[in-house]
Amino acid sequence: MVDGEPASTLAHASRLARTARDPVSSAGMDPITLRGGSLGVVLIPPVGGAIARFWCEQPGAAIELLRPASDLALTRRDAGGMACFPLVPWSNRIREGRFAFGGRTIGLPPNRSQDRHPIHGLGFQTTWTVVDLDPARAVLEHGHAPGAWPWAYRALQRVALTPASLELELTVRNESDTAMPVGLGWHPYFPRTPGTTLTARVGGLWLTDAEVLPVACVAPPPDRDPGRGLSVDRTALDNAFVGWDGDAVVAWPEWRVQLRLATQGPLGTLVVYTPPGEAFFCVEPVSHITDAFNLAAAGRTDTGMLSLLPGESVGATLTLTPSIA
CA separation, residue 188 to residues 52, 76, 290, 307 (Å):
10, 19, 17, 25
- Residue 221 in any domain: the answer is yes
Q: Model confidence at 14, in pLDDT bands (50, 70, 90)?
A: very low
Question: Prior bond to 214 cis, omega within 30?
Answer: no
Lowest mean pLDDT among 99-113, 170-184, 209-223: 99-113
Mean pLDDT of 55-61: 92
pTM for this model (two decimals) = 0.91
Query: Quick one: 3 exposed, middle or buried, by C-beta within 10 A (0-12, 13-18, 19+)?
Result: middle
Q: Which of 207, 203, 225 lies closest to 215, judged by CA?
A: 207
Query: Quick one: 147 exposed, middle or buried, by C-beta within 10 A (0-12, 13-18, 19+)?
Result: exposed
**Total of domains in the chain:** 1
- Residue 126 in any domain: the answer is yes
Q: Model confidence at 60, in pLDDT bands (50, 70, 90)?
A: confident
Q: Model confidence at 112, in pLDDT bands (50, 70, 90)?
A: confident
- Residue 81 in any domain: the answer is yes
Q: What is the rounded distance in angstroms from the CA atom of residue 53 to the CA atom of residue 81?
A: 11
pLDDT at position 29 is 65
Range of the domain at 249: 10-324
- Residue 4 in any domain: the answer is no
**Full DSSP string of 59-103:** TTEEEESSPPPPHHHHHHT-GGGSSEEEEBS--SB-GGGEEEETT
- Residue 309 in any domain: the answer is yes
Under 8 Å between Cβ of 108 and 115: no
For residue 82, give every residue at least 6 positions away whose Cβ sits within 8 Å of its Cβ, in sequence order, or none. 44, 47, 48, 50, 51, 52, 69, 73, 189
Beta-strand pair 214-218/238-242: unpaired
7 pLDDT higher than 60: no
Q: What is the rounded distance in angstroms from the CA atom of residue 27 to the CA atom of residue 24?
A: 8
Bridge partners of residue 306, in order along the sequence: 182
- Residue 306 in any domain: the answer is yes
- Residue 283 in any domain: the answer is yes
Q: Which of 92, 88, 116, 104 lies closest to 150, judged by CA?
A: 104
Q: Model confidence at 19, in pLDDT bands (50, 70, 90)?
A: very low
Q: How far is CA 314 from the centre of its chain?
A: 16
CA separation, residue 175 to residues 88, 144, 180, 181, 182 (Å):
14, 9, 9, 12, 12
Mean pLDDT of 4-30: 38
For residue 157, give every residue at least 6 positions away whose Cβ sits within 8 Å of its Cβ, in sequence order, or none. 49, 86, 128, 139, 140, 141, 142, 168, 169, 170, 171
Mean pLDDT of 48-52: 98
Percent of the chain at pLDDT > 90 equals 86
3-state secondary structure at position 31? coil
Under 8 Å between Cβ of 118 and 111: yes
- Residue 60 in any domain: the answer is yes
Query: What stretch of H or E contains 51?
Result: strand 50-58
Q: What is the rounded distance in angstroms from the CA atom of residue 183 to the CA atom of residue 99?
A: 14
What CATH number did the domain enclosing 125 receive? 2.70.98.10
Lowest mean pLDDT among 37-41, 73-77, 117-121: 73-77
pLDDT tens readout for residues 134-154: 999 999 999 999 999 999 999
